C-alpha cells in the first residue's frame, strides 16, 4: 500500500510564509473568541476585565481545522476549484468562524461585525455569549451545512452534497472521535455509490489528534498499518501527513493536497471520457497533528498540548489566577498579531491574498446555502395516476403501489435534482415502478442476475438508515429534493438525526440570508398494522410521537387513508419548503374510499366529515366516530356499518383525519383547526370514539385544550403485537370494529341498556374471529372480505 506523500510540486517560500501567517491569524482569532471580551488586539496588557466570565468553547481541534482551511484556500485559488468544507468536529466552531471573518464573508452576512478592530471585538464577544452565536459550526456560520454537535454524520452529508454536483469538491474533516461512531463507520462505504462520471468528489481528511474529551481515540492508537488497511479496504488511497513542526507539516500537507486533487481530476476525466464507469480508489488524507497544537504546552505543571486536556479550555482560571492570565497573553502574542492585522484591525494585505474571492470562498459557495440554488421540481399531474373510485371502498389497491408510477415519473422528469432513498426497501414498499426508468446507484462489482444496479441510478439503497438519512440531508442542504422511504418501525434508527435537522430548520428560519430548503420527506410504509407476518419486532408507530416533539413550524404529519389521498399528499410535500413531512401509508391491497376530486378536497381540509359514511345530516350526532390512518379508517367504517345495521336510529358522524396537526389548536400549530371549527365538527359535548394509527395518548396530548376533550376516547396501538393475522393484530390492541362498537355502546349516555344484546354479539364476534385464526391460520372471510355497501345505509333525514 502506497502511503508516501509524493509532492507534485514544492511549496514556494512566499506561499509557505502566507499559509503560516494565515494559520496564525486564524488561531489568534480562535483563541480570542474563546477568551476575550475586550482588548482584541492586545494594545494594552491583558486584565481580568478583558476576559469573559464564562469560558466556553473548544480549542483542541481548532488549530487542525485552521490548518486545513488555509491549505484548502490555497488550492482553490491555484486550481479555481468549486469547493466546500464539511467539518465533523463541530466543536471547532470558533475556528470556522475565524476563517469566515478572515475571508470577509462573516462581515458581509453580519454587517456589524466589520473587518476592523471594532468588528473583531464583536466577533470575540458574540462567541458562546448570551445573545451571540453557539460554540459549534452552527447554521449561523456561512458555508456550514453541518453543525457537528452530534458526531457521526459528516461524511454522509459530504457525499450527499457531492451527488449530482459534477464540478464540486467536498472536503470533509472527520475527527478521530467521530470516526468511532457507527454512522461514520458506515459512511466509508459511500464510495460504492458515488459516480465519478456525473457526481462531484469527496476528499475525506481524517484528523488524528489522538484524543476525545477524556480518552485516547481508537484509530489513533491502533497500528498505522491496520488503520490504512481499513481505509484501503473501504475504497480509498490514504496519504499520511504527520508532525508537529509547522514548516514541515505545511510543506507535506500542500504536496499531499496537490497529489490528491490531481488524482481526483484523473479519476473524473477517465470516467467522463465515455468508458465503463467503475469504482475507483479515491484519495484521502490522514492528518496527524497534536491536539491543541500551538497552545499552552503545560498548565500548572501538567502537560496539555497533545493530550485530552486541550479539548476545551486549556486555561480555565484566567480571571482569578494571575499565572493563567499571563500564560494566556503569552499564548496570544505567540501568533504575533501585530504582523497579521493593520492599524485598523483589518487583516494585512498578505493575508487577503490567500483566500479566493466571491463565490469561490468556501464560506460563500452558493450550494452551502442550498435554498439559493434550489429549483422547483417538474411534477407530473398526480391526478392522472389515481384509482377510479365509483363507490366507497372499491377498488382494492395498495396505496404505495399506486404512488409508485408517479414517483417513477418524478424521477424521469428531474434527472439531476431528485433521488429516492431507502434501506433496501424501495421494492418492498411497492415503489419498484421507479426501476422502469432508473437503477439503484452502484459502481461496485456487478454480476449476472443483479437487479437494476448501475452507476447512473437515482435510487439510493443501502442497509443503513443513518447513511440514507445523511445522504438525503446533504442532498437537500445543497439545493436538491428527495424522499426517504422506510419501514415504519425502523425509521426510529434516525431519531437523533431528525432532531438535528429539525433544529437546523428551526434556526435557519430566523437567519435572513438563509434561503428555504426543500422539505425532508419521509414515506413510511410496512407499518405497524400490516407487520403481522414479521411480528412484534416490526411493530412500532412511535416515530410520529418523536416528530411531534419538534417545533410546530417545521413538522407535518400526514396519514392518508387511501391511494388518491396519498397522491395528493405527496404532491403537496414535494412542493413544500423548510418542513419535515412524515407520511404514513400502507402497501397492502386495501379499500379506496375517495374519488380523486374528493381526495384533493379532503387533503386540503386536513380533516373532515365523510357524509356518505355518516347518518347525522341535519341533526346533532349521538356519537362521533373519528379515524386517522388507513387501517383505523377501515375499522371505523366497518364499525359505522355495524351500527347502521343494528342501531339504525343512532346518529353517527364519521370524521377522517389526514393532517394530524389539524387536531392541535391554531395557537399551537400553524395547521391547527380554530376552536370554533373543531367544536363544530367534533361537538362540544358528545362522545367521540377515535380510532388512531399510533399510540393513543398522542391524540390526547394534541387535543387536551379542546372543549370536548373529556368525552374523547382513543383506541390505538398499545404495544401489543406478535406474528398473527391482520385482524387479530387490531383485536390485540382493541382497535377492531367490534370493540369500537362496544365503545360506542359503553360511552354514549343511555345506550347501554337498550343495546345490551348488540354488545354481547360484539363480544362473541371478537371471540369467533380469534377462534377462526387459531384454527385456520387466516382471518375469517366475513371480516377480511367486508366491503362498504352504500345501499345498506338508510336515507338521511
Dihedral angle over CA of 14, 16, 17, 18, nearest 10: 80
As a whole number, mean pLDDT of residues 276-293 equals 95
pLDDT reading at 276 higher than 50:
yes
CA angle 375, 425, 188 (to 5 degrees): 75
Instruction: Give pLDDT tens digits for 180-190.
Output: 999 999 999 99
pLDDT class for 501, splitting at 50, 70, 90? very high
pLDDT reading at 380 higher than 90:
yes
Instruction: Give pLDDT tens digits for 332-373.
Output: 999 999 999 999 999 999 999 999 999 999 999 999 999 999
Nearest to 41 by CA among 110, 105, 115, 97: 115
Annotate 244-279 with DSSP letters as a single string. S-HHHHHHHHHHHHHHHHHHHHHHHHHHTTTS----
pLDDT reading at 74 higher than 60:
yes
Strand partners, 624: 653, 688
As a whole number, mean pLDDT of residues 170-191 equals 96
Instruction: Give pLDDT tens digits for 521-577.
Output: 999 998 888 887 888 888 899 999 999 999 999 999 999 999 999 999 999 999 999
Nearest to 354 by CA among 32, 616, 15: 15
pLDDT class for 391, splitting at 50, 70, 90? very high
pLDDT class for 795, splitting at 50, 70, 90? very low
Between CA 558 and CA 716 the distance in angstroms is 16
As a whole number, mean pLDDT of residues 693-708 equals 96
pLDDT reading at 652 higher than 80:
yes
Q: What does the block give as the cell for 487?
A: 419501514
pLDDT class for 3, splitting at 50, 70, 90? very low
pLDDT at 9: 59
Between CA 557 and CA 547 the distance in angstroms is 8
pLDDT at 793: 43
DSSP strands (E only) in 90-244: 168-175, 201-208, 236-242
pLDDT at 277: 87
Residues 567, 619 contacting (CB under 8 angstroms): no
Instruction: Give pLDDT tens digits for 198-236.
Output: 999 999 999 999 999 899 999 999 999 999 999 999 999
Q: What is the pTM of this model?
A: 0.95
Instruction: Give pLDDT tens digits for 746-776.
Output: 999 999 999 999 999 999 999 999 999 999 9
Among residues of the chain, what percentage have pLDDT more than 70?
A: 98
Q: How many CB atoms lie within 10 A of CB 45?
A: 10
pLDDT at 147: 87
As a whole number, mean pLDDT of residues 3-15 equals 64
pLDDT reading at 105 higher than 90:
yes
pLDDT reading at 7 higher than 50:
no
pLDDT reading at 466 higher than 80:
yes
As a whole number, mean pLDDT of residues 646-655 equals 97
pLDDT at 797: 26
pLDDT at 770: 96
Nearest to 596 by CA among 323, 390, 335, 338: 390
Helix axes 563-575, 596-605, angle to 10 degrees: 50
**Kind and range of the H or E run holding 521:** strand 520-525
pLDDT reading at 1 higher than 60:
no
Between CA 272 and CA 198 the distance in angstroms is 8
pLDDT at 792: 45
Instruction: Give pLDDT tens digits for 26-41.
Output: 999 999 999 999 999 9
Neighbour-count burial of 280, counting CB atoms closer than 10 A to its CB (0-12 exposed, 13-18 middle, 19+ buried) = buried
Residues 50, 38 contacting (CB under 8 angstroms): yes
Mean pLDDT, the chain, integer: 95
Q: How many CB atoms lie within 10 A of CB 114?
A: 18
Q: What does the block give as the cell for 264?
A: 481526483
pLDDT at 531: 85
User: Dihedral sign, CA of 329, 332, 333, 339?
Assistant: negative
Amino acid at each position: 500500500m502506497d502511503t508516501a506523500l509524493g509532492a507534485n510540486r514544492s511549496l514556494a517560500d512566499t506561499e509557505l510564509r502566507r499559509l503560516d501567517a494565515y494559520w496564525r491569524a486564524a488561531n489568534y482569532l480562535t483563541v480570542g473568541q474563546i477568551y476575550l471580551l475586550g482588548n482584541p488586539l492586545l494594545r494594552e496588557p491583558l486584565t481580568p476585565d478583558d476576559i469573559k466570565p464564562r469560558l466556553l468553547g473548544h480549542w483542541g481541534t481548532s488549530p487542525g481545522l485552521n490548518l486545513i482551511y488555509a491549505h484548502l484556500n490555497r488550492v482553490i485559488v491555484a486550481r479555481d476549484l468549486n469547493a466546500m468544507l464539511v467539518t465533523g468536529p463541530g466543536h471547532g466552531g470558533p475556528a470556522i468562524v475565524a476563517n469566515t471573518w478572515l475571508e470577509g464573508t462573516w462581515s458581509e452576512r453580519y454587517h456589524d461585525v466589520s473587518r476592523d478592530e471594532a468588528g473583531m471585538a464583536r466577533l470575540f464577544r458574540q462567541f458562546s455569549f448570551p445573545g451571540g452565536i453557539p460554540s459549534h459550526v452552527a447554521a449561523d456560520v456561512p458555508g456550514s451545512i453541518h453543525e457537528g454537535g452530534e458526531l457521526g454524520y459528516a461524511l454522509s452529508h459530504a457525499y450527499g452534497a457531492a451527488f449530482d454536483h459534477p464540478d464540486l469538491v467536498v472536503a470533509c474533516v472527520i475527527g478521530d472521535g467521530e470516526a468511532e461512531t457507527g454512522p461514520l463507520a458506515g459512511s466509508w462505504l459511500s464510495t460504492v455509490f458515488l459516480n465519478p462520471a456525473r457526481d462531484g468528489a469527496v476528499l475525506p481528511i481524517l484528523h488524528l489528534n489522538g484524543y476525545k474529551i477524556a480518552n485516547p481515540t481508537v484509530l489513533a492508537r491502533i497500528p498505522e498499518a491496520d488503520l490504512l488497511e481499513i481505509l484501503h479496504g473501504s475504497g480509498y488511497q490514504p496519504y499520511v501527513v504527520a508532525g508537529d513542526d509547522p514548516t514541515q507539516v505545511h510543506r507535506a500537507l500542500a504536496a499531499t493536497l496537490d497529489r490528491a486533487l490531481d488524482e481526483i481530476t484523473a479519476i473524473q476525466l477517465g470516467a467522463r471520457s465515455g468508458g465503463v464507469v467503475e469504482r475507483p480508489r479515491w484519495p484521502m488524507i490522514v492528518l496527524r497533528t497534536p491536539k491543541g497544537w500551538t497552545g499552552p504546552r503545560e498548565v500548572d505543571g501538567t502537560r496539555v498540548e497533545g493530550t485530552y486536556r486541550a479539548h476545551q479550555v486549556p486555561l480555565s482560571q484566567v480571571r482569578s489566577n494571575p499565572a493563567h492570565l499571563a500564560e494566556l497573553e503569552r499564548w496570544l502574542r505567540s501568533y504575533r498579531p501585530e504582523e497579521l492585522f493593520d492599524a485598523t484591525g483589518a487583516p494585512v494585505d498578505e493575508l487577503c491574498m490567500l483566500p479566493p474571492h466571491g463565490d469561490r470562498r468556501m464560506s460563500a459557495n452558493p450550494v452551502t446555502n442550498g435554498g439559493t440554488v434550489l429549483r422547483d421540481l417538474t411534477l407530473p399531474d398526480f391526478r392522472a395516476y389515481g384509482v377510479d373510485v365509483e363507490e366507497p371502498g372499491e377498488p382494492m389497491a395498495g396505496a404505495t403501489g399506486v404512488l409508485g408510477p408517479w414517483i417513477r415519473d418524478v424521477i424521469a422528469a428531474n434527472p439531476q435534482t431528485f433521488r429516492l432513498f431507502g434501506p433496501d426497501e424501495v421494492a418492498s414498499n411497492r415503489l419498484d415502478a421507479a426501476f422502469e426508468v432508473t437503477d439503484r446507484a452502484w459502481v461496485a462489482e456487478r454480476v449476472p442476475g443483479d437487479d437494476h444496479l448501475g452507476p447512473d441510478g437515482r435510487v439510493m439503497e443501502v442497509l443503513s438508515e443513518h447513511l440514507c438519512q445523511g445522504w438525503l440531508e446533504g442532498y437537500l442542504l445543497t439545493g436538491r429534493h428527495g424522499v426517504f422511504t422506510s419501514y415504519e418501525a425502523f425509521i426510529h434508527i434516525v431519531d437523533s438525526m431528525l432532531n438535528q435537522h429539525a433544529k437546523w430548520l428551526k434556526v435557519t428560519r430566523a437567519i435572513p440570508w438563509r434561503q428555504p430548503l426543500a422539505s425532508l420527506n419521509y414515506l413510511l410504509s410496512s407499518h405497524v398494522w400490516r407487520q403481522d407476518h414479521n411480528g412484534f419486532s416490526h411493530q412500532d408507530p412511535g416515530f410520529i410521537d418523536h416528530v411531534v416533539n419538534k417545533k410546530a413550524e417545521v413538522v407535518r404529519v400526514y396519514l392518508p387513508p387511501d391511494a388518491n389521498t396519498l397522491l395528493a399528499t405527496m404532491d403537496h410535500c414535494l412542493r413544500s419548503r423548510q418542513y419535515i413531512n412524515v407520511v404514513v401509508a400502507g402497501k397492502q391491497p386495501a379499500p379506496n374510499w375517495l374519488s380523486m376530486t374528493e381526495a384533493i378536497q379532503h387533503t386540503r381540509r386536513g380533516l373532515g366529515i365523510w357524509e356518505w359514511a355518516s347518518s347525522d345530516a341535519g341533526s346533532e350526532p349521538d356519537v362521533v366516530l373519528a379515524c386517522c390512518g388507513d387501517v383505523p379508517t377501515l375499522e371505523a367504517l366497518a364499525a359505522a356499518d355495524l351500527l347502521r345495521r343494528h342501531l339504525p336510529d343512532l346518529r353517527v358522524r364519521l370524521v377522517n383525519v389526514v393532517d394530524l396537526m389539524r387536531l392541535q389548536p391554531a395557537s399551537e400549530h400553524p395547521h391547527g383547526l380554530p376552536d370554533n371549527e373543531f367544536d363544530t365538527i367534533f361537538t362540544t359535548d358528545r362522545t367521540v370514539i377515535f380510532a388512531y394509527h399510533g399510540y393513543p395518548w398522542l391524540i390526547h396530548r394534541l387535543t387536551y385544550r379542546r372543549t370536548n376533550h373529556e368525552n374523547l376516547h382513543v383506541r390505538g396501538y398499545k404495544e401489543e403485537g406478535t406474528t398473527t393475522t391482520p385482524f387479530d393484530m387490531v383485536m390485540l390492541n382493541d382497535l377492531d370494529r367490534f370493540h369500537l362498537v362496544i365503545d360506542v355502546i359503553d360511552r354514549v349516555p343511555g345506550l347501554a341498556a337498550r343495546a345490551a344484546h348488540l354488545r354481547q354479539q360484539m363480544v362473541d364476534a371478537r371471540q369467533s374471529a380469534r377462534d377462526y385464526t387459531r384454527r385456520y391460520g387466516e382471518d375469517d372471510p366475513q371480516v377480511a372480505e367486508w366491503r362498504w355497501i352504500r345501499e345498506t345505509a338508510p336515507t338521511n333525514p
